[in-house]
Amino acid sequence: IYPLLKELTLDIATDVFMGGRGKDESDAVNKAFVATVRAASSLVRAPLPGTRFRAGVQGRRVLEDYFFRHLPAARAGETEDLFAALCQATTEDGERFSDEDVVNHMIFLMMAAHDTSTITTTAVTYFLAKYPQWQEAAAAEAAAIGDGLPDIEALEKMTVIDLVIKEALRLLAPVPLVMRKTVRDVAIDGYHIPSNTLCAITPAVNHFDRTIWSDPGRFDPSRFDEPRREDQHHRFAWVPFGGGAHKCIGMQFGTLEVKAILHRMLRSLTWTVPENYHVRWDNTSLPIPVDGLPLQLKRR
C-alpha cells in the first residue's frame, strides 16, 4: 500500500500547492524525491558512482529542473496556488523571492507535504489491519458521515480516527529527528547545554517515556481520549510535528488530508495483513515499510 499512497499524496500536493502543474511528470518527480530524501542520511558525503548520495544529487537536479520549468507560468499569476503565491509575494519595498528561492521553497514544501502524510496513512492502515476492532469503530464513524466528499467540519468530527492517527504518530513519528538550536544556556537532566548549540531532538524518546505513557509499546488510541489524556502529562509528551515557534506549519492540513483518505478507504474497503505479519520499518531516512506493507483488501 505504501507506494500507492505515496503516488496519491504527491498528486494531492501537486493539485493543492502547484495548481496541478506537471501532474503528468509525477512518476519521475516521485522517484527524485525518494532519492533526494534518502541521500540526507548517506554515510558517504560525496557523489561517488553507485552511492545513495550521488542518486540524491541527481534527484535534486531533476526536482530543480521540474520547478524551474513550471516557474514562468506561476510567475504569470494565472492561478491561486501556493507556487504562484510565492512567485508573486512582494515586500513593502517591492522585493520578490528570486527564482532560486522559490524553487528551494517548493522542493522542501512538496517533500514535506506528501512524504509525512504517506508515512502516517501507511502506519494507520497497518494498525487498523492489526486491530480490527479499531478498524470497525473507525468504519462506523466514516459511515455516519456518509459517502459524499466530507468537508472540514465533518473531518474534524471524526474523533475515533483522530485517536488512531495520534497513536500511530506516537508509535511511528514520520520525522524521526528534528533539529533545533538553543537560544540560551539550559540544563536538561543535569547536562549543561550552552546557548547556540545545535541539538537533535528525537520524538521517539518522548513518545516511549514510561513516566508519561502507560505501557508505551502497546497500540492504545484510548490513551488520547478523556479522561486519560496521557498526552497532556507534559507539553512536549507528543511531538510528531515538533513544538514551539517552529512547530510544523502543515499539521492541520496533513491531518485533514489523512482523514479524508481514510474516510474514502473505510467506506469502500476492509483490509487485513497476512497472518503473523509484523511490519519492518527502514529507518535509514524517513521510515518506510521494507516490503511496502502488503494489505489484503476486500470491498465492503
**Annotated binding site for heme: which residue ranges?**
248
What is residue 180's DSSP assignment? Answer: E
Q: Find out whether the peptide bond into 227 is cis, omega within 30 degrees of 0.
A: yes
**Residues in a beta bridge with 298:** 270
b/e 259-295 (16+ beta carbons within 10 angstroms → b): bbbbbebbbeebbebeeebebebeeebbbbbeeebeb
Question: What's the rounded Cα separation, in Å, for the pair 141 and 9?
Answer: 23
Alpha-carbon separation of residue 182 from 50, 78, 179, 195, 247 (angstroms):
37, 42, 10, 5, 15
Grid cell at residue 117: 502524510
What are the binding residues? 248
Residue 174 burial (10 A CB sphere; 0-12, 13-18, 19+): buried
Residue 115 burial (10 A CB sphere; 0-12, 13-18, 19+): buried
What is residue 105's DSSP assignment? Answer: H
Question: What's the rounded Cα separation, in Å, for the pair 213 and 236?
Answer: 12
**Residues 6 or more apart whose Cβ sits within 8 Å of residue 24:** none
b/e 55-67 (16+ beta carbons within 10 angstroms → b): bbbebbebbbebb
User: Left if phi > 0, otherwise alpha if psi is -120 to 50, otherwise beta: which for 242?
Assistant: left
Number of helices (H) and strands (E), helices first, in the chain?
10, 8
